C-alpha cells in the first residue's frame, strides 16, 4: 500500500496529544517473518539479469492447462501473508481462465537481493515478463494488477515498453508514490509522516519491521538511528531520502508516459490517503493524446485499505469480486478479445453516499456548474463575498490539531466524526446554511486565500466536511500547503482533490482552516527548523484575509445528474 507490514500501519500513528519532550527510549520492534507457503501454488525462482533470483508463485486454472493470458502481481508485503490474500485472489482470477503469477520484489521475504524501494522495479519487471512468456502455460500476453506499491510496479514495468505487457490495472497508486515533497520553490506540499516511516518499516530489511515512533520525542529524527541500531540493519532507501536527498531514478528508461501507451484501468479511491499521486498521473495521461486514448478511469468509494463506504454511512471491506472483477473485465477485452473496448466505460465513478456508479465520457462529468463559497468574518460559508476582514488563529506545536483517524490508510474503517475539532481555538470553522435540496458535488475542489504568519515558515490545512442535521462532520475533501519562507501576506492556492459526492437535503458544507494535522502530517515547529530534526518549538499566529477575493472555495455541482 504504501501498505501495512502485517497489520501495523495504525501503530505508526499513536496519540500525539499533550506533548512532553522526552529523550529517545529503547526502541521496541517486531520482525515479521515470511508466512508459510500455501501448498497450492507452484514455487519458482526467477533469475534477473544480474543473477538475483526472485521468489515467485504460479497459480494455474483447474484441469488441463493450455497456453493462455497471465495476470502478474509484484509486491513487497510477503506474497504468502494472510494480509495479502493472494491465494484467495488466485482462486478468483484462475476461475476466470487466467494464469496468475505473484512475486516478492527484490530483497523482500523469500527473494534475493538488497531491499531498496522503487529503483529496481522497471528492470526486474521486464525480466519477470521475459520469464513468464517463456513458460508453457503462457500465450505471451500479460496484464498486471494490484494496489499501491504493487500498482507502482505496474507503471515501472510499463516504462520498459515490454511487448508482452498488454494492459495494466493500477489501483490506489502513482508513479510518484510516496515521493517526498520538493524542497524547492516558495510553495510545497506538507510532508506526510508515513513517507520516511515506510522506508524504515517495509524496506529496512528482508522482513518487515513493525515499530511505533514516539511522536512526543524531539528531535523525531533521533528515533531513525535508534531503530536501525536496534534492528541491526540499515535502510538504503531511507539513506537516499534523509537527511540529504539523493536523486532517485525510478524509471531508467524514462517516465512511462514517455513510452508506448498501453490500455490502463486507473482506479482511484475517494478517501484514499494516497490519491494525490493517483490524480497527478490522471492529469499526466490527459496531457498525452496516446495515453488519454488508452486510459479508463474508475473512481471508487474506498480508502487505501479497500474499505468501501456504503449507503447509510456504513463502511465495510470490499469483496474479492469488487476488487478484482473490474480488472478481469478489462483484461477480457485487452488480453482475451472477448468484448470490444467500447464495453469498458471511459469514466466510471461512484457517487459517494449512494450505491450508484455513473458512466461518463470524461472527468469531470459534462454539465457540472461551477460554484463558489466565500469565508466571512461571522464564520459563514456564503455564496456572496463579505466585507474585508481578517481572522487569526494560533498554531502551538505542543498542542497540534490531532489527526482525525488513527490509521489514515483505513480512514473509512474509523469514519471519524470531527465535531470536536471544530470547537478548537486553533481551527477556524465556516459553515453554510443547510441545503433545501440534495446536490451532487463533482470534480476538483480548490481554496484560495491571502495568509500571513509571524513564523519564518508556516502551513495551512483546509478540510471540507458534510455537516449533517445532527451536527456530525464527515470529511469529504482535504488539502494543505507549506510556505517555507514567510514574507508578509502570502497568496496560496490549495488543491483539495476531487469530489463525487451526494450532499443530501438538510446537510451543508463546512470548511476548516488550521495549521496542523498531527501526526499524519509533520508539524511545523515554528522556528524555521526542518520538522524531523527540530529540537525546539515556538507558537505562531496565522492571519487570513477575508473578502476582496481572498478566502474562496471553488467546486462544482451537477444540477442534472447524468444517466446511470
Residue-wise pLDDT tens digits, 130-140: 999 999 999 99
Q: Which of 362, 299, 360 is nearest to 562 (CA)?
A: 360
Euclidean distance between CA atoms 155 and 285, whole angstroms: 12
Q: What is the mean pLDDT of the segment spanning 457-463? A: 98
Closest C-alpha among 365, 310, 373 to residue 510: 373
Residue 531 to residues 179, 385, 451, 492, 525, Cα–Cα distance (Å): 17, 36, 21, 21, 6
**Between 3.40.50.1820, 3.40.309.10, 3.40.50.2000, 3.40.50.300, what CATH number should domain 9-17+35-179+252-360 receive?**
3.40.50.1820
Q: What is the mean pLDDT of the chain?
A: 94
* Range 515-522 average pLDDT: 98
CATH number for 368-558: choose from 2.60.120.260, 3.30.930.10, 1.20.1250.20, 3.40.640.10: 2.60.120.260
How far apart, in whole angstroms, are the C-alpha atoms of residue 167 and residue 164? Answer: 9
Buried-state track 386-422, b at ≥16 Cβ within 10 A, e below 16 = beebebebebbbebbbbbbbbbbbbbbbbbbbbbebb
Instruction: Provide the pLDDT for residue 207.
Output: 98
* Residue pLDDT, tens place only, 285-318: 999 999 999 999 999 999 999 999 999 999 999 9
Q: What is the pLDDT of residues 232-284, one digit of tens each?
A: 999 999 999 999 999 899 999 999 999 999 999 999 999 999 999 999 999 99
Q: What digits encode the pLDDT tens for the residues 188-242? A: 999 999 999 999 999 999 999 999 999 999 999 999 999 999 999 999 999 999 9
Cβ within 8 Å of residue 290, ≥6 positions away: 260, 261
Q: What is the mean pLDDT of residues 54-62?
A: 98
Give helix 121-133 / helix 149-158 axis angle, nearest 10°: 70
Look at residue 487 in the predicted model and tell me its pLDDT. Answer: 85
pLDDT tens-place string over residues 399-442? 999 999 999 999 999 999 999 999 999 999 999 999 999 999 99
Between 119-123, 363-367, 482-486, 538-542, the lowest mean confidence (pLDDT) is in: 482-486
pLDDT grade for 11, boundaries at 50, 70 and 90: low
Q: Greater confidence, 24 or 263?
A: 263
Q: How confident is residue 184, by pLDDT bands cut at 50, 70 and 90?
A: confident
Look at residue 485 in the predicted model and tell me its pLDDT: 84
Dihedral of CA atoms 320, 321, 324, 327 in degrees, nearest 10, equals -170
The model's pLDDT over 86-123, given as tens digits with 9 standing for 90+, comes to 999 999 999 999 999 999 999 999 999 999 999 999 99
Neighbouring CB atoms inside 10 A of 343's CB total: 11
Q: Say if residue 457's pLDDT is above 50.
A: yes
Examine the pLDDT at 25 and tell me if it is beyond 70. no
Could you read off the pLDDT of 474-494 as tens digits, one per residue?
999 999 999 988 888 999 999
Going 281 to 327 to 46 to 81, the CA torsion angle's sign is positive
Closest listed residue to residue 199, CA positions, set 119, 122, 274, 116: 116
Q: What is the pLDDT of residue 563?
A: 42
Q: Per-domain residue ranges for the chain?
A: 9-17+35-179+252-360, 368-558
Asked if pLDDT for residue 21 goes beyond 90, the answer is no
The answer on pLDDT for 23 being more than 60 is no
CB contact at 8 A, 489 and 452:
yes
Q: How many beta carbons lie within 10 A of that of residue 50, not counting itself?
A: 11
Q: How many other C-beta atoms are found inside a 10 Å radius of the C-beta of residue 26?
A: 6
CA distances from 351 to 179, 280, 419, 500 (A): 30, 21, 24, 5
- Label the pairing between strands 165-171 and 264-269: parallel
**pLDDT, tens digit (0-9, with 9 covering 90-100), for 369-392:** 999 999 999 999 999 999 999 999
Q: How much of the chain exceeds pLDDT 70, in percent?
A: 95
Q: To the nearest whole percent, how much of the chain has pLDDT over 90? A: 91
pLDDT, position 12:
57
pLDDT of residue 560: 55
Amino acid at each position: 500500500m504504501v501498505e501495512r507490514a502485517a497489520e501495523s500501519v495504525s501503530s505508526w500513528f499513536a496519540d500525539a496529544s499533550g506533548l512532553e519532550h522526552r529523550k529517545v527510549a529503547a526502541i521496541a520492534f517486531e520482525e515479521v517473518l515470511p508466512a508459510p507457503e500455501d501448498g497450492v501454488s507452484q514455487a519458482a525462482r526467477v533469475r534477473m539479469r544480474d543473477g538475483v533470483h526472485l521468489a515467485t508463485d504460479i497459480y494455474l486454472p483447474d484441469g488441463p492447462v493450455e497456453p493462455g493470458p497471465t495476470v502478474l502481481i509484484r509486491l513487497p508485503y510477503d506474497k504468502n501473508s494472510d494480509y495479502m490474500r493472494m491465494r484467495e485472489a488466485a482462486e478468483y482470477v484462475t476461475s476466470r481462465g487466467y494464469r496468475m503469477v505473484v512475486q516478492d520484489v527484490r530483497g523482500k521475504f523469500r527473494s534475493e537481493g538488497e531491499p531498496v524501494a522503487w529503483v529496481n522495479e522497471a528492470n526486474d519487471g521486464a525480466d519477470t515478463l521475459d520469464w513468464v512468456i517463456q513458460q508453457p502455460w503462457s500465450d505471451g500476453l500479460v496484464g498486471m494488477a494490484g494496489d499501491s506499491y504493487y500498482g507502482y510496479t505496474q507503471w515501472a514495468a510499463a516504462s520498459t515498453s515490454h511487448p508482452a505487457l498488454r494492459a495494466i490495472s493500477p489501483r490506489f497508486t502513482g508513479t510518484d508514490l510516496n515521493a517526498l515533497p520538493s524542497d524547492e520553490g516558495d510553495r510545497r506540499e506538507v510532508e506526510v509522516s508515513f513517507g520516511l516511516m515506510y522506508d524504515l518499516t517495509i524496506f529496512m530489511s528482508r522482513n518487515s519491521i513493525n515499530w511505533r515512533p514516539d511522536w512526543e520525542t524531539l528531535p523525531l529524527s533521533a528515533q531513525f538511528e535508534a531503530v536501525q541500531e536496534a534492528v541491526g540493519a540499515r535502510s538504503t532507501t531511507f539513506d537516499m531520502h534523509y537527511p540529504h536527498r539523493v536523486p532517485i531514478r525510478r524509471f531508467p528508461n524514462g517516465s512511462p508516459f514517455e513510452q508506448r501507451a498501453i490500455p490502463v484501468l486507473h482506479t482511484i479511491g475517494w478517501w484514499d490517503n494516497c490519491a494525490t499521486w493517483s490524480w497527478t498521473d490522471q492529469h499526466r495521461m490527459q496531457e498525452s493524446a496516446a495515453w488519454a486514448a488508452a486510459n479508463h478511469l474508475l473512481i471508487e468509494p474506498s480508502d487505501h485499505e479497500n474499505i468501501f463506504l456504503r449507503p447509510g454511512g456504513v463502511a465495510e471491506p470490499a469483496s474479492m469480486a469488487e476488487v478484482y472483477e473490474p480488472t478481469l473485465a478489462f483484461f477480457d477485452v485487452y488480453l482475451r478479445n472477448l468484448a470490444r473496448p467500447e464495453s469498458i466505460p471511459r469514466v466510471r465513478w461512484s457517487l459517494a453516499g449512494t450505491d450508484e456508479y455513473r458512466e461518463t465520457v470524461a472527468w469531470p462529468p459534462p454539465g457540472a456548474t461551477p460554484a463558489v463559497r466565500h469565508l466571512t468574518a461571522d464564520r459563514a460559508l456564503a455564496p456572496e463575498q463579505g466585507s474585508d476582514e481578517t481572522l487569526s488563529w494560533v498554531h502551538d506545536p505542543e498542542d497540534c490539531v490531532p489527526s482525525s483517524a488513527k490509521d489514515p490508510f483505513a480512514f473509512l474503517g474509523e469514519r471519524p466524526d470531527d465535531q470536536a475539532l471544530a470547537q478548537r481555538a486553533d481551527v477556524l470553522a465556516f459553515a453554510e446554511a443547510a441545503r433545501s435540496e440534495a446536490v451532487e458535488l463533482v470534480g476538483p475542489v480548490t481554496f484560495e486565500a491571502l495568509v500571513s504568519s509571524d513564523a519564518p515558515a508556516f502551513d495551512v490545512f483546509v478540510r471540507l466536511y458534510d455537516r449533517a442535521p445532527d451536527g456530525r462532520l464527515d470529511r469529504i475533501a482535504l488539502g494543505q500547503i507549506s510556505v517555507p519562507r514567510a514574507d508578509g501576506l502570502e497568496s496560496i492556492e490549495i488543491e483539495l482533490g476531487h469530489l463525487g459526492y451526494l450532499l443530501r437535503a438538510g446537510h451543508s458544507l463546512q470548511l476548516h482552516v488550521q495549521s496542523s494535522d498531527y501526526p499524519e502530517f509533520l508539524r511545523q515547529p515554528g522556528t524555521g527548523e526542518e520538522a524531523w530534526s527540530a529540537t525546539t518549538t515556538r507558537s505562531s499566529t496565522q492571519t487570513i484575509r477575508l473578502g476582496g477575493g481572498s478566502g474562496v472555495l471553488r467546486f462544482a455541482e451537477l444540477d442534472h445528474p447524468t444517466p446511470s
